[in-house]
């Protein structure tokens, strides 16, 4: 394949893996990042986000000489045949995606774009954004494509190297095929479509997965109600290949930077176009109820929470990330604090000295044992591997009362009971 010149704008969760993967495929890539601290870190091969394997990948690309960095997107795009927009699209108060970073970036580069180049949108953007970008660029010699990104935090490298599929939208099929070719990977399916469909696929995929988790969380609550066993229920369902075992794990609710934002945006986009996506609205509602179900389980074990010390294991929205954006831990802990509980938490990515505003009111411990000491109930909120292998017989003597709420169904209930714990999982006890 011919090596192309590529600019990736935005050094975040999507931009860094995209830039690294494209440069390791032999393309000449410049990553533009306007935050000076981030840029300086990247230039030294330090990754400003917690993502297993990403630092090594970036180092490899820098050493190969195909990855460089720039503060100015306008400068960086000048000689590039492809420009990838990987800037954040935070959520506005009404649930819609805030496009200001995307439009600012487009405005900054539009006059500098090389004739014939393709601007590819990788940020998650509302349906119709490609058209807005095209209008803002307003140049007949520049094409626009939409390339949604499906990587998961914590496995971004694996997901970027071997994506299940590459979705490429453009209103010009030849352009879509050309951009898809940059990522071509044996084993990955390619879906070539128009921009509106590509943009819709991203929202539909995330909303489907979030709805699937909400279903499984409700199935766990159903198991609790009727006395069925959630683990066996998932086995009995998952061996049906149409259902499968992926994204079938009950938990404290889905969180992170994508599912909450994208489900709300999908509902909002539907509303704006006269469609009520009631199923996804229901999944969002169900997810809120899930946070409350966790609190209910804690109360079922200890009663009134006033003055009760609760130990929390895990604050991030899932394991293998340091990301607490829309983490279920935050509303769960907020309710515990509001009801008068004393909350002591341990998470391998959070330092006791951390003074972030989302941690206000929580005492951060330096170890899982320290968090559990004196607590009347231990609540596992994130599925960090170290919790799975924790020797509970060493934890029990530290605690005031030996109660566990295992929202990730990580522990063996029988083993926990043998160690003296009263155990509540999700759909199993
Ligand atoms: C998600 C999509 O998976 C990815 O394709 C998209 O590009 C970005 O959004 P991510 O936010 O990194 O990725 O997290 P993911 O691993 O999908 O988990 C999302 C949430 O669902 C987490 O809170 C996780 O704990 C929860 N989850 C996931 C479950 O509760 N049960 C499961 O079986 C799977």
Query: Are the CB atoms for 283 and 211 separated by under 8 Å?
Result: yes
| E-strand stretches of 181-316 | 189-193, 309-313
179: CB partners within 8 A, 6+ apart: 82, 118, 120, 145, 147, 168, 170
CA 266, CA 253: separation in Å to the nearest integer? 19
pLDDT tier at 235, thresholds 50, 70, 90: very high
Q: Name the token pair of 366.
A: 């330096």
Q: What is the mean pLDDT of residues 94-106?
A: 91
Phi, psi torsion values for 367, nearest 5 degrees? -155, 160
For residue 183, report the distance from its CA to the centre of ligand 1, in Å.
Answer: 23
Query: Are the CB atoms for 23 and 67 separated by under 8 Å?
Result: yes
pLDDT of 301 > 90? The answer is: yes
The domain defined by 5-193 folds into: Rossmann fold (3.40.50)
CA 184, CA 166: separation in Å to the nearest integer? 8
pLDDT of 347 > 80? The answer is: yes
Q: Is the CB of 277 under 6 A from ligand 1?
A: no
Q: What is the mean pLDDT of residues 209-214?
A: 98
Q: What is the mean pLDDT of residues 240-247?
A: 98
Q: Name the token pair of 172.
A: 């010009």
206 CA: nearest ligand 1 atom: 2
pTM: 0.95
pLDDT value, residue 91: 82
Q: What is the mean pLDDT of residues 400-426?
A: 97
pLDDT value, residue 94: 84
Domains 5-193 and 259-425 share a fold: yes
pLDDT of 359 > 90? The answer is: yes
Identify the residue whose C-alpha is closest to ligand 1 atom 13. Answer: 152
Q: What is the mean pLDDT of residues 290-298?
A: 98
Q: What is the mean pLDDT of residues 152-175?
A: 95
pLDDT value, residue 92: 83
Q: Is the CB of 249 under 6 A from ligand 1?
A: yes
Write the CATH number of the domain with boundaries 259-425: 3.40.50.720
303: CB partners within 8 A, 6+ apart: none
Q: Is the CB of 256 under 6 A from ligand 1?
A: yes
Q: Is the CB of 206 under 6 A from ligand 1?
A: yes
pLDDT tier at 2, thresholds 50, 70, 90: confident
Q: What is the mean pLDDT of residues 62-84?
A: 97
pLDDT tier at 93, thresholds 50, 70, 90: confident
Q: Name the token pair of 156.
A: 């971004």
Q: Is the CB of 152 under 6 A from ligand 1?
A: yes
Q: Alpha carbon of 237 to those of 215, 227, 242, 245: distances in Å?
A: 12, 17, 9, 8
Is residue 258 among the annotated active site residues?
yes
Mean pLDDT of the chain: 96
Pocket test for ligand 1, best of 122, 147, 256, 321 (most atoms within 8 A of CB): 256
Could you tell me the residue ranges of all domains in the chain? 5-193, 259-425
pLDDT value, residue 264: 95
């Amino acid at each position: 394949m011919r090596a192309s010149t590529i600019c990736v704008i935005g050094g975040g969760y999507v931009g860094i893996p995209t830039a690294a993967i494209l440069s390791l495929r032999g393309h000449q890539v410049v990553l533009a990042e306007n935050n000076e601290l981030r840029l300086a870190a990247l230039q030294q091969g330090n990754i400003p986000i917690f993502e297993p394997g990403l630092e090594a990948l970036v180092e490899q690309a820098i050493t190969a000489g195909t990855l460089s960095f720039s503060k100015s997107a306008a400068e960086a795009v000048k000689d590039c045949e492809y420009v990838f927009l990987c800037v954040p699209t935070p959520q506005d108060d009404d649930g819609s995606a805030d496009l200001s970073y995307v439009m600012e970036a487009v405005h900054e580069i539009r006059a500098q774009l090389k004739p014939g180049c393709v601007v590819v949108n990788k940020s998650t953007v509302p349906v119709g954004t490609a058209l807005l970008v095209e209008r803002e660029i307003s140049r007949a010699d520049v094409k626009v494509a939409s390339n949604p990104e499906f990587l998961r935090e914590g496995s971004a490298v694996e997901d970027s190297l071997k994506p299940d599929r590459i979705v490429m939208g453009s209103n010009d099929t030849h352009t879509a095929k050309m951009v898809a070719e940059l990522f071509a990977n044996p084993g990955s399916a390619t879906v070539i479509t128009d921009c509106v469909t590509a943009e819709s696929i991203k929202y539909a995929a995330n909303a489907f997965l979030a709805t699937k988790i909400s279903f499984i969380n409700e199935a766990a609550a159903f198991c609790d109600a009727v006395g069925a066993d959630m683990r066996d229920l998932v086995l009995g369902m998952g061996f049906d290949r149409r259902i499968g075992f992926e994204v079938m794990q009950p938990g404290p609710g889905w969180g992170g930077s994508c599912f909450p934002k994208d489900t709300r945006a999908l509902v909002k986009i539907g509303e704006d176009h006269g469609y009520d996506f009631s199923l996804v609205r229901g999944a969002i509602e169900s997810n809120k109820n899930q946070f409350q179900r966790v609190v209910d389980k804690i109360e079922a074990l200890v009663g009134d929470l006033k003055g009760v010390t609760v130990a929390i294991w895990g604050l991030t929205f899932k394991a293998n990330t340091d990301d607490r954006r829309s983490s279920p831990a935050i509303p769960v802990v907020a309710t515990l604090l509001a009801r008068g509980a004393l909350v002591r938490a341990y998470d391998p990515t959070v330092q006791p000295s951390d003074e972030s505003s989302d941690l206000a009111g929580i005492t951060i411990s330096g170890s899982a044992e320290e968090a559990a000491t004196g607590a009347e109930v231990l609540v596992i909120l994130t599925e960090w591997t170290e919790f799975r292998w924790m020797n509970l017989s060493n934890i029990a003597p530290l605690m005031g009362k030996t109660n566990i709420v295992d929202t990730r169904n990580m522990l063996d209930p029988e083993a926990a009971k043998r160690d003296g714990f009263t155990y509540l999982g999700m759909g199993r006890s």
